[in-house]
Structure 1
């Protein structure tokens, strides 16, 4: 059976990794593809991405980056898939809260549980990553990683977005899938660095993005190693371990990867410290902000959004000349299912 990512790539008509042929080689490991980003409109944004990747992989370029240092870090929510009306992981938690509410009568008068049980979307939109982790610790602790993974996979196979009426894992961005493949074709190692729960992402995103679980970094609960009568296991505890948001992103990158990114993509102020740290590489760094500007095909939001707010980050991107992908103008399609068959 094909993975979701495999099906997505087959829809493109030409697989970036396997079907495109090099036009030429500017350096020993520089890969030139005929059309590496087919779902991106021609223009400054697409050209700047291609120019950076070409120069960073050209051994004759002053901004050449050795392959072992080609690290590309991507936020997930709002950067690689949609995040409205709120983070997709929250939809999973909502279902878990409702399924176990009879065991917690106190939730009826405690936020954000009260909002979940009353379907109060306005209140839920105010839920930030810290509250999300609190929900996680109170509803999902006690399971082993394997048990949790199976619960999430079963949910993802059937749950649908309330307005798009598609599975959540179908609401990934086709242009960003192509960018991930283009980077990997040129020797970049791609990572997800997101505020979402790391176990949730590892259960759902590996096949979607072609990124192995060990290259997915996120927020986490504390865990405990158990040894009893020759049986060994790890269980999740009702305590927050690490929040992979804002300053936590570069800290976790340093701890887990041990290298600065040379390519970085995000969509919100929560990604700004990761973008700033990447920018300290100077000319050997590329910072890409995804700007949600397409109210018809997706959503339009930035400075005043309760989810994915892009305010300080937008100011710095404009000031420092970082690349901004305008969803409305730069992307031919948003989702893979919009591709012409």
Structure 2
């Protein structure tokens, strides 16, 4: 595999040297293919992050302030979060402290009631828009090409790559499907899901029926940042990554 988008640099040389070593069966550092795990942060690592803010922030602003189908439905907390994003994007006004969690709770509310399929379609339709500050491209085209070459290189060497992001898991799944990353290889922020007719009954006491769908709720389960990423890797992958990439 070639690295056409890279200059000769220490980081690329170190990566190639390491990978060639651990995939050489004669090396004392050889790693079996089943243990070749690589994890990638998304925003800022292989996806453009600062245009001038996160995709999921831009999408919440649109959902709450512009989406005709959601007009008049947003709560006060959703409106505050969306307007904070708008002020930051348009005038550079600093976001409130701990805005990652403010956004997470607002986003959980904003998409509550959508089925998994509806939300996937919603994200993909939004991603056809141009990122703030860009023309002639959409969100599906906003991946860093040098990092896509790293994905391809590692795949050719028997590595399994996972996306481990602070962004919503289902937003990330919809986005990275365009670069052939499977949904089971995406770990991210999660909200509680429930089935169509479940109501307030706990899932352990309710039996899913064949005519139901899974719906998003407004209950945030985890914002997948910092140490939470480490915990989620342990719970979902069950192996320590050989390589981890972040911006």
TM over 0.5: yes
* Counterpart for residue 204 of structure 2: none
Change in Cα spacing, 1:107 to 1:244, as seen in structure 2 (3 Å) is closer
* Counterpart for residue 40 of structure 1: 6
Shift of 1:74: 0.2
Per-residue CA distance 1:67-125 (angstroms, 9 max, x = gap): 000000000000001111110111111110012342347469x6323435667553475
* Counterpart for residue 54 of structure 1: 20
How far, CA to CA, are the matches of 1:163 and 1:237 in structure 2? 32
Query: Structure 1 residue 67 and structure 2 residue 39: aligned?
Result: no
* Counterpart for residue 247 of structure 1: 227
* Counterpart for residue 113 of structure 1: 82
Change in Cα spacing, 1:105 to 1:200, as seen in structure 2 (3 Å) is closer
How far, CA to CA, are the matches of 1:150 and 1:124 in structure 2? 32
Query: Structure 2 length as normaliser, TM-score?
Result: 0.85
| Aligned pairs for 1:144-293 within 5 A | 144-157=115-128, 159-165=129-135, 166-208=137-179, 210-227=180-197, 231-267=211-247
List alignment gaps of at least 5 residues for structure 1.
1-15, 17-35, 268-341
List alignment gaps of at least 5 residues for structure 2.
199-208
Per-residue CA distance 1:34-57 (angstroms, 9 max, x = gap): xx3221111322211110010010
Aligned partner of residue 215 in structure 2, secondary structure: strand
Out of 60, 64, 72, the residue aligned to residue 93 of structure 1 is: 60
Query: Structure 1 residue 77 and structure 2 residue 43: aligned?
Result: yes
Question: Does the CA-based 8 Å contact 1:107-1:114 persist in structure 2?
Answer: no
Question: Does the CA-based 8 Å contact 2:64-2:74 persist in structure 1?
Answer: no
